[in-house]
Each structure stands twice: as structure tokens, then as C-alpha cells.
Amino acid sequence: MAAPLTLHTLVRRAEAQLSAAGVHFGHGTTCARDEAAWLVLWRLGLPLDTDLDAEGNRPVTPAQAQAVQALVDERIRSRKPTAYLTGEAWLQGVAFYVDERVIIPRSLIAELIAAAPQADALDPWLGAHTRTVLDLCTGNGSLAVLAAMAWPEVRVDASDLSADALAVAARNVARHGLQDRVRLLQSDGWCALDGRYDLILCNPPYVNRASMAMLPPEYRAEPALALDGGDDGMDFVRHLLARAAEHMNEEAVLVLEIGHERAHFEAVFPTLAVEWLRTSGGDDAVLLVTRTALLAAQADLPPDPKRCAP
């Protein structure tokens, strides 16, 4: 007699299949077990925080098992991240719509925003003067939404070059009821922006060319525009820092994510004084720079590589 089908059965089966297929993780999960649980629970319409230790013996029907298997097969065949297959991703526990027009949100800056109300990482740099925030390279709008949630008194501009990305961001801004406080703007970096801000957040394309060539299929499924930072990963960052000061109020700060590119960053900006902020990605993935520091290093900053139309 065949063993009854349960949640545990489906999760264990999917875990083994994902491991055997050599799929890559990093878009919401870090291992086959967690990815398998996500696929099974989502396909069955169960909450993703279902306690599998307590609920694992819940029976499932053959039809449900077949539906789960079809989704697992699609994940393996397509090598698309699960977030694209389900249309949803989470950042700091907040749900966001995603599709293949945007990269899947995973910015480490989100950790710092979420901590801000608890007077943690960013609090010493912010104060009563913080009223305007810019999320540059907003993608699906997740950092802009999280900033508006963290600081109910601020207004947030969220900018991106991609009209497709801004369409996804608009959906997320509306999903969280923030249309009155988050404004979406299309701009190639600074080219179409004229505002000044107290806080600038930027998770730009920063993957260097050699690393781009080695990305697994799950990452190549994402828009290259949002990942490719040029030969040394610093193409957009050069533009960002060349003109950031003119868009910052007197006591403003800029929080910038650069992933594993610290060596390239310091080679390009050797005299720029920055603060490295601790995140789950380590002590050298996210940095903070003040307007004062940018002005002090202005003469040493590389020229703006973008030719913005007048």
C-alpha cells in the first residue's frame, strides 16, 4: 500500500529534485529545502509561514501533488527564480509584486531602513530635518515603499530609467496605499531629476563585467540593465557621485549598495570618505557618504560619464 501523500512528502520530493537539478538560489531562499517549501505552499494556496513541523502530516490529494510537480518541473526547466513563477517576493517581511521586467528585490539597504525606527543603523545620520527621500534605480519600488513605511512623515521620489520597471513600481506603490507619498519619475540617473533630498538611497547596477559573465541562469533571467555595472562595476556609480552633491540638502546623506565591489569602489574613489554600514552581507557591501564628504573630494571624483541631454 502506497504511503499517504502529505505536505512533508511533497516538500521532501521537491527538495531532492531541486538539489539533483543543480538550480541556484538567492532570490528569496538560500537552499533547496526552503525553495521546495515555497513552491509547495504557494501552489497549494497555503500561507508561506506555515509551520511544516506542525502541519507536515496534512494530507494532500493526487491532483494537488500533480500541480506541485508541474511547478517544480517548470522551476527546473526554465531556471527562472521562483519569484517570477509566483509573481511575488518579500523584502523585510513586506510583499511585493515582481515579474521579469524587474530584478527580484533583495537589497541590503532594506535592512537599514527597517531598523531606522528602532534608532539603529541610520538613525545617527538622520534627524528631524529628514523630509525628502530619493530612491534612485528603484526597480520594483520596494525600497521606496519601505522608506515611506519607515518614515511616515517623509515624501519619497522613486526614479528609474526603465518605463517597464516603473510600471511594476506603480503597482507596488498602489498595493501598499502610498500613492500620495511616493512619486515615480523616469530618468537616466540624474538626467531628468532636479530635486534636492535629505536622504538618497541607491542600489544601482554594480556587477562587474567578469562577474556578469559567470552569473547562473537564475540571475541571467533578470534584466541585465539592472545588474551590469560595466568593466569594474562602477559605471553608474561614477555618474551618481559626480552629481549627487547638487541634489542633496546641506545635511543630506547618500546610502549606496555596491555588493562585492569594494575593491573597485576604492580604486575609483580613493580620497572619498565614507562610512561602511554593517548588514547581513557583511561590513563592506553598503556605504554611507555625506554631502560634506562629497564636496571635500569633488576635485578627485572622476568626471560624469553620462552625456545628459540639455
Average pLDDT across the chain, whole number:
93
**Residue pLDDT, tens place only, 191-204:** 999 999 999 999 99
Q: How confident is the model over 239-243, as a mean pLDDT?
A: 97
CATH topology of domain 102-300: Rossmann fold (3.40.50)
Average pLDDT for 37-60: 92
The residue ranking higher by pLDDT, 55 or 27, is 27
User: What stretch of H or E contains 196?
Assistant: none
pLDDT band at 3 (very low <50, low <70, confident <90, very high): low
Radius of gyration of the chain (CA): 21
- pLDDT at site 159: 98
Q: Closest by alpha carbon to 81, among 134, 42, 120, 126?
A: 42
Domain ranges of the chain: 7-86, 102-300
Q: What is the dihedral of CA 295, 298, 303, 305, to 10 degrees?
A: -30
pTM of the model: 0.94
> What 3-state DSSP class applies to 92?
coil
List the grid coordinates of 180. Answer: 500620495
Residue 9 CA to residue 3 CA, distance in Å, equals 9
Q: Residues 42-51: what's their mean pLDDT?
A: 93
Taking 50 as the threshold, does the pLDDT of residue 119 lie above it? no
pLDDT of residue 22: 96
| C-alpha to C-alpha distance for 69 and 161, rounded to whole angstroms | 38
251-279 residue pLDDT tens = 999 999 999 999 999 999 999 999 999 99
Looking at residue 187, the DSSP 8-state letter turns out to be -
Contact 105, 114 (CB under 8 A): no
Q: What percent of the chain has pLDDT over 70?
A: 95
Q: How confident is the model at residue 109 (pLDDT cuts 50, 70, 90)?
A: very high
When the candidates are 3.90.180, 1.10.357, 3.40.1620, 1.10.8, the CATH number that belongs to 7-86 is 1.10.8
pLDDT at 4: 80
